[in-house]
Amino acid sequence: MAQQAYMTETDSGGSGPRRSTRFRNLLRDRGIWRRGIVLAVCAVLLALVMMAHTRIPNAIGNLGSLVDTFLPWLGLLIPVLLVLGLIRRSATALIATILPAAIWLDLFGGLLTDKTDSGGDLTVATHNVNADNPDPSATARDVAASGADILALEELKASEVATYERALASTYRHHAVVGTVGLWSKYPLSDVKAVDIRLGWKRAMRATVTAPAGQVAVYVAHLPSVRVKLEAGFTARQRDKSADALGEAIADEPLTNIVLLGDLNGTMNDRALNAVTSQMRSTQGAVGSGFGFSWPASFPMARIDQILVKGAQPESSWTLPATASDHLPIAARVKVTGD
């Protein structure tokens, strides 16, 4: 009777003994190392892609640039592999999943923390307003409300330029429009000129802004769009040529403080923008919070709108609320350095 009572108490007294038994059985299960080999291989391949993404060639459909652009999203495969490994009860798969997780954190973990600062003496913003914007006036008022000292707009439709000028006149005393891009400033503009990005029409400009802290060379650019096509892959040849030309112009800039505002149709990870990104710092990567995705506005998947600096020091970076455009506007606070 005593033995029977003890067994009853053990069976009904909690899950501790049963859990311990299951754990011991699991350790004795040699299949825990044999199962999930395919999952483990997938985890290792994912890790290799993330670790060596710059070595993926662009020869076929610009595959390398495509992977570069959406590289952060590969992290979504990690919890999938983890869950499948648990379902398969595979120690091999679970251990292998640690590898891509560690690499992803090394690449993007810094973006998960808030690095914004309250410093800086110049607030800048940029917005691709969309040529087919149904409410240009409201869009202009929305971005002006950001408090930006300098505002760049891209994809300006010729017939709507006057609308943006009227809507922004009360906030910005100075402005210039070159082709489909424009710059509005609270401070005087000089040396305004188009920047040749080898397109045949004007989608980039440069101006000197005389701010209280010093002169700043401000570039506004809208690089050509890219497309993902089944028959051609990631088509970006014209964008890449324009990026090279823009990089050359910035490299020749005589002023110390340089700010680039615009829609570059590419992320900082895309090696095709190296002519620009190799010599400038991203405000989002340096002092932002999160990934700062800006496109498409309905479900942002990539940060193709950029604020980059050279000489000037980034202090904070953030994404502004959605407007009637298909892009989100972005803003940053920078500190102008001495010449």
Query: Do 321 and 143 contact (CB within 8 A), yes or no?
Result: no
pLDDT tens digits, 265-286: 999 999 999 999 999 999 987 7
What residues does each domain of the chain span? 35-112, 122-335
pLDDT tens digits, 17-54: 666 666 566 556 667 888 899 999 999 999 999 999 99
Q: Between the CA of residue 112 and those of 20, 158, 255, 284, 291, what are the distances in Å?
A: 37, 40, 33, 11, 8
Q: Which helix (H) or strand (E) holds 164?
A: helix 161-168
Among residues 165, 150, 143, the alpha carbon closest in space to that of 325 is found at 143
Comparing 289 with 185, the larger pLDDT belongs to: 185
pLDDT tens digits, 176-208: 999 999 999 999 999 999 999 999 899 999 999
Q: What is the pLDDT of residue 209?
A: 98
Choice among 52-56, 250-254, 327-331 with the minimum mean pLDDT: 52-56
Q: What is the pLDDT of residue 9?
A: 42
Average pLDDT of the segment spanning 316-323? 95
- Note the pTM of the prediction, 2 decimals: 0.86
Q: What is the pLDDT of residue 160?
A: 97
Sheet holding 174-178, edge to edge: 174-178, 181-185, 150-154, 122-128, 330-335, 313-319
Query: pLDDT grade, residue 15 (50/70/90)?
Result: low
pLDDT tens digits, 82-101: 999 999 999 999 999 999 99
Q: Which residues pair with 306 in a beta bridge?
A: 262
Q: What is the pLDDT of residue 22?
A: 60
pLDDT tens digits, 212-222: 999 999 999 99
Domain 122-335 belongs to what topology?
Answer: Deoxyribonuclease I; Chain A (3.60.10)
